[in-house]
């Protein structure tokens, strides 16, 4: 069965519902995972997506901040939301898809501006979130399961995932301590980077460009913060992956762009 999955930090789903609809119309994904939806569940624009055939929707949101959602043409066998760091901040939703595939939609905290957990509580929260998630995957899940993990993980792990490795080594999202934590999380779940499975690690690839850059395309000072991972039983099912870079230039654009992966499951 062909399966197309898109993940996108939409940076307010109510403000950019039309952009989600455009992505749906142009790329026809079977599943869309959204992060940073910034709306309570009762205000989520379900109708706009249901009208396009996404009859199965899991939302986990809050007013003004965070929030994740999974839109699907396929039914869910089970749904689950999880909280970390003793906070209910709507950052992790899980569904089971047909064929027993477990899909995790994750929004890792950004971490603020100072990469020092002692001086910056936001950075300490980010590291704790990653540690707790890693411990859970290590204890409760196995790489032998058919699992997909997607989302804005807010870390660019490779030197080619940022516009300047040297200049960003001390900038939150590319510091060695974050890259190490992300590697531990990936290893705990037995995950393989589905995008880098197709795009060589030597090739520069970004999914986020700051709003501060007046001409984001010309400066191209991006970072690859958005990821799709699969476990070994699904590697052979991978058929393609791409970053929908052009959406960064759409009206009312998010600062992130969608990542789209095709599988044959």
Task: Label residue 16 by pLDDT band (50, 70, 90).
Answer: very high
Average pLDDT over all residues of the chain: 98
CATH number of 56's domain: 3.60.10.10
Task: Label residue 143 by pLDDT band (50, 70, 90).
Answer: confident
Predicted pLDDT of residue 142: 86
Predicted pLDDT of residue 193: 98
Q: What is the mean pLDDT of residues 14-35?
A: 98
Q: Tell me how many domains the chain contains.
A: 1
Task: Label residue 265 by pLDDT band (50, 70, 90).
Answer: very high
All residues at 6 or more sequence positions from 224 whose CB lies less than 8 Å from its CB, including other chains: 156, 158, 161, 162, 205, 206, 207, 208
Quick check: helix, strand or coil at residue 81? Answer: strand
Taking the C-alpha atoms of residue 227 and residue 107, their distance in angstroms, rounded to an integer, is 11
Task: Label residue 214 by pLDDT band (50, 70, 90).
Answer: confident
User: CB burial class (10 A; 0-12, 13-18, 19+) of residue 124?
Assistant: middle
Predicted pLDDT of residue 128: 98
Query: What would the pLDDT profile of 75-105 be if each residue is shown by its tens digit?
Result: 999 999 999 999 999 999 999 999 999 999 9
The domain containing residue 153 runs over which residues? Answer: 2-264
Quick check: helix, strand or coil at residue 26? Answer: helix
Query: What would the pLDDT profile of 220-260 be if each residue is shown by its tens digit?
Result: 999 999 999 999 999 999 999 999 999 999 999 999 999 99
Taking the C-alpha atoms of residue 232 and residue 191, their distance in angstroms, rounded to an integer, is 7
CA dihedral 201, 186, 69, 198 (to 10 degrees): 30
Query: What would the pLDDT profile of 34-75 be if each residue is shown by its tens digit?
Result: 999 999 999 999 999 999 999 999 999 999 999 999 999 999
Task: Label residue 190 by pLDDT band (50, 70, 90).
Answer: very high
């Amino acid at each position: 069965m062909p399966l197309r999955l898109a993940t996108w930090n939409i940076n307010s789903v109510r403000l950019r519902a039309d952009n989600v609809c455009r992505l749906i119309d142009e790329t026809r994904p079977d599943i869309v995972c959204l992060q940073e939806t910034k709306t309570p569940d009762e205000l989520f624009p379900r109708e706009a997506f249901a009208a396009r055939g996404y009859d199965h929707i899991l939302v986990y949101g809050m007013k003004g901040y965070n929030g994740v959602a999974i839109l699907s043409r396929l039914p869910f066998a089970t749904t689950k939301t999880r909280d970390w760091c003793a906070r209910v901040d709507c950052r992790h939703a899980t569904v089971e898809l047909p064929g027993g595939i477990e899909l995790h939609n994750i929004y890792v905290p950004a971490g603020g501006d100072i990469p020092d957990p002692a001086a910056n509580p936001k950075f300490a929260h980010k590291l704790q979130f990653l540690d707790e998630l890693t411990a859970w995957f290590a204890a409760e899940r196995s790489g032998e399961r058919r699992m997909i993990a997607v989302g804005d993980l807010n870390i660019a792990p490779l030197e080619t995932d940022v516009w300047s490795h040297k200049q960003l080594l001390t900038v939150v999202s590319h510091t060695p301590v974050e890259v190490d934590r992300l590697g531990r999380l990936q290893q705990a779940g037995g995950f393989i980077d589905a995008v880098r499975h197709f795009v060589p690690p030597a090739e520069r690839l970004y999914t986020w460009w700051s709003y501060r850059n007046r001409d984001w395309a010309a400066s191209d000072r991006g970072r690859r913060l958005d990821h799709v991972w699969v476990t070994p039983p699904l590697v052979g099912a991978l058929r393609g992956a791409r970053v929908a870079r052009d959406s960064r230039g759409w009206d009312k654009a998010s600062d992130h762009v969608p990542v789209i992966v095709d599988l044959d499951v």
